[in-house]
Amino acid sequence: MGDRVSLCASAADPRVEAPGGAITRLQPDPAAKGCAGFWPKEAGWHGLRSKTAEGAEQVWSFYVHPAEKLAGVRAARDRDATLMLTGKPATGAAASGPEVPGSPWPWLAVWLVVTTGLWWLERSARGRVGPPT
């Protein structure tokens, strides 16, 4: 509630009906290909109404949560928006934790050398204790 909602209706005369019955006409943004911004004033089920080319009316329902709900989702959205403003990535490396320097390939080489040495020791005569008793 109070946050911008982007509504897209390719048909003519888009308007939103609020739960209380108030109708808000939307002005589509020509650059957004039929989408318009809507700022709901009340929580509840809203209906996006528009007319098709044949003149029939279509209704798409959507729910607007109360302002006090979904505080965690709002905080994550605000955090991502702030990170985008600073130029840092909002997801990926920043969200997964601290960055570990270096490449994993040297560790693979060390593991390969150690396991090859252990395999050779097992197969060679030095690795054998003797015949079982």
**pLDDT tens across 3-56, in order?**
888 888 767 778 899 999 999 988 777 777 778 888 899 999 999 988 877 878
Asked if 29 and 38 touch (Cβ cutoff 8 Å), the reply is: no
pLDDT of residue 23: 92
Asked if 13 and 48 touch (Cβ cutoff 8 Å), the reply is: no
Give the Cα separation of 39 and 3 in Å (integer): 6
For the chain, percent of residues with pLDDT exceeding 90: 29
Question: pTM here?
Answer: 0.54
pLDDT of residue 74: 85
Q: Which residues pair with 28 in a beta bridge?
A: none
pLDDT of residue 93: 47
pLDDT of residue 115: 97
pLDDT of residue 68: 85
Average pLDDT over residues 79-103: 75
Residues in the chain, how many? 133
Between residues 77 and 110, which one has the greater pLDDT?
Answer: 110
pLDDT of residue 111: 97
Give the Cα separation of 3 and 43 in Å (integer): 11
Parallel, antiparallel, or unpaired: how do β-strands 12-17 and 23-25 relate? antiparallel
